[in-house]
Structure 1
Amino acid sequence: MRTRTLGKNGPAVSAIGLGGMSMSGAYGDADRDESIATVHAALDAGVTLIDTADFYATGHNELLLAEALRDRPRESYRLSVKTGMVVGIGGLPAGQDGRPETIKNSVTYSLTRLGTDYIDIYRPARLDPAVPIEETVGAIKELVEAGYVRYVGLSEMNAETIRRAHAVYPITDLQIEYSLISRAVEAEVLPTLRELGIGMTAYGVLSRGLISGHWTADRSTRPGQGDHRAMSPRFAAGNVEHNLALVEALRKVAEAKGCTVAQLAIAWVAAQDPSIVPVIGARTRTRLAEALSAADLELTADDLAAIETAVPVGSARGDRYPSSFMKDLGVGN
């Protein structure tokens, strides 16, 4: 597994990271044993960046990862943890809480659930509009000074907020959605990260499976079984057919390259900057193996041009989140 450095002051991590959200019911039921086996397979393949959040199934994901990581040397992986999301009845987001006292309370619970003495990268999941980002980051800075956290990260924040946070304490990386059909970061956020020497951990690189090459228009998103895609505008009837037509155009490029659609989409994200680490949400060993092969896929200028032709910027239909969630994001689609 190749490695990349998160920004100019961050740690070296595997060129592809593993996200745990899908292992805790975000897209319907997940198999616990297979999820743990997938984490083990990722570590065995050289993946060192594991991403989670204290609100993924209200702590379930941290407990699952603790079980999967129990017999692994702590120095062999890096934990990235998001916090600050308020979860309401039914597991739906109900706002943010970035108050310093909440941050310090939350990290205590995460350390216990994860069974570790420290978290490598700790980050607010969203900006709390009622709390200045300086206060939230200041609290995490204190956790760094106390030894409970190694690096400070951010998630889903705009360029102005990034600058303000970075002035309080050096930000290691921004976690944000970035894919062939989610490119709003390119306008201001990505240039700001480059200017400040901040890395990016890109999630949603396959747009929750939509551009993986495995999704079909007749596939059910199982709204009654906790599948968040049932609320996603991009998976809605009328939009999904259009978006899958883009995938078919991308498939032709992938076939010419001798790779899968998923591998091409992941490699495209990684090719945008050497300090970007795609975080894939595989919950089975099969999907993991496919995704990890993208780390060795080299894209030429001709490849990149062909990809742009197949999926032009702004060509997808539907927002990446329901309208009620879009207001919480630092950037749009």
Structure 2
Amino acid sequence: MTTIPRVKLGSQGLEVSAQGLGCMGMSAFYGPPKPEPDMIKLIHHAINSGITFLDTSDIYGPKLNEILIGKALKGGMRDKVELATKFGVKLDGIREVCGDPAYVRACCEASLQRLEVDCIDLYYQHRIDTRLPIEITMGELKKLVEEGKIKYIGLSEASASTIRRAHAVHPLTAIQLEWSLWTRDVEEEIVPTCRELGIGIVAYSPLGRGFLSSGPKMMDKLEEGDFRKFLPRFQAENLEHNKILFERVNEIATKKGCTPSQLALAWVHHQGNDVVPIPGTTKIQNLEQNIGALSVKLTPEEMAELESIASADSVKGDRYGSGLTTYVNSETPPLSSWKA
């Protein structure tokens, strides 16, 4: 059985399992919520296997996923995990991103109640409020740390300059970003910024939302309401082009004696000890397969080969639809422009 290494995430003291568990798909966005007893069993299996870094958000469900995790952590499990959740996306009527201090505090209090915990280990701003200087949001998060409600602060999908400005208010522990063989734009500016500042990197969708596991045939299995059906990369005209990347990954995996998802996940693990991928799953067999990726060792030549087939032009389609462009690497206005 693979032993899951422990790694330091960022330079502020948080230690997590080298691979985490993204819990979103259990309750949201990938079809209807999955049966609660099965998901609790899966979470327990992950923890007992050494996958102790759990990732959720108040938007998953909405709220259902935090409640699920709260139930799963009863009976002595809380002390075994590093619990990450997020705030920042309002879903009341219209979807909007909010970083207002009163909203930050209200979200944190509500998440603590749903999770039934006294303290959140890592609290992220899920998406960046592009109307508000990041310093305003960070000021409130800093207060929550001082009050013992959260231990560490993270941002998700922030630009390099927003990361710098946030880090100057209170040290950031992690930046969550999409990083995989089919999403590599973060390597240019954001990853180097995190490394310069000693901030850990948490890679979500390291399997390309499932595409790097099974390729275009995954589309046949998607349930009603699965939001991947609407993403540009999964539309027919782009899918045909993107299939080439999957086929090449699959060829290398076959030679290597592992699955394409293990190869894709191993590639993310090989980016460095400061990178913790959080693949999501709702099946124990897939969880086991993801753990197996930790045993896949890639040579510099294999890394180079994978990177050559996963260049910028090997993937067609944006990550999100046109209405969600502010979801990616977001910038905030300068503090000097702010009138409270």
Please indicate, yes or no, whether the TM-score normalized by the shorter chain is above 0.5: yes
Runs of 4+ in structure 1 deviating by more than 3 angstroms, as ranges, are none
Which range moved further: 298-307 or 194-203?
Answer: 298-307
Residues matched between the structures, number: 327
Other-structure match for 2:295: 296
Other-structure match for 2:23: 20
Q: Following TM superposition, by how much is the alpha carbon of 1:12 offset from its aligned partner in structure 2, in angstroms?
A: 1.3
Other-structure match for 1:164: 165
Q: Secondary structure at the match of 1:4?
A: strand
- CA separation of 1:218/1:229 partners in 2, compared to 1, >3 Å: closer, same or farther? closer
Instruction: Write the mapping of 1:73-222 to structure 2, written as runs, cut at 5 A.
Output: 73-89=77-93, 94-213=95-214, 215-216=216-217, 219=220, 221-222=222-223
Q: Indicate the RMSD between aligned Cα atoms, in angstroms.
A: 1.6
Other-structure match for 2:70: 66
| 1:54 equivalent among 51, 58, 68 | 58
For the 8 Å contact 1:193–1:199, the answer to whether it is kept is yes
Q: Following TM superposition, by how much is the alpha carbon of 1:221 offset from its aligned partner in structure 2, in angstroms?
A: 3.7
Tell me the TM-score normalized by structure 1: 0.94
Residue 286 (structure 1) aligned with residue 290 (structure 2): no
For the 8 Å contact 1:251–1:260, the answer to whether it is kept is yes
1:132-161 CA deviation, whole Å, 9 max, x = no partner? 111111111101100010001111101000
Other-structure match for 1:43: 47
1:233-263 CA deviation, whole Å, 9 max, x = no partner? 1111111122122111111111111111001
Other-structure match for 1:261: 260
For the 8 Å contact 2:262–2:290, the answer to whether it is kept is yes
Which range moved further: 181-190 or 127-136?
Answer: 127-136
For the 8 Å contact 1:209–1:215, the answer to whether it is kept is no
For the 8 Å contact 1:217–1:240, the answer to whether it is kept is no
Residue 235 (structure 1) aligned with residue 234 (structure 2): yes
For the 8 Å contact 1:19–1:280, the answer to whether it is kept is yes
- CA separation of 1:299/1:72 partners in 2, compared to 1, >3 Å: closer, same or farther? farther
Q: Following TM superposition, by how much is the alpha carbon of 1:317 offset from its aligned partner in structure 2, in angstroms?
A: 0.8
Other-structure match for 1:313: 312
Q: Following TM superposition, by how much is the alpha carbon of 1:36 offset from its aligned partner in structure 2, in angstroms?
A: 1.5
Q: Following TM superposition, by how much is the alpha carbon of 1:217 offset from its aligned partner in structure 2, in angstroms?
A: 6.4
AA in 1 matched with 2:247: E
Runs of 5+ in structure 1 lacking a partner?
A: none
1:254-282 CA deviation, whole Å, 9 max, x = no partner? 11111110011111111112100000111
AA in 2 matched with 1:166: H
Runs of 5+ in structure 2 lacking a partner?
A: 332-340
Q: Secondary structure at the match of 2:155?
A: strand
1:86-145 CA deviation, whole Å, 9 max, x = no partner? 1144xxx71111011111111111000001000000111111122211111111110110
AA in 1 matched with 2:296: L
- CA separation of 1:266/1:55 partners in 2, compared to 1, >3 Å: closer, same or farther? same
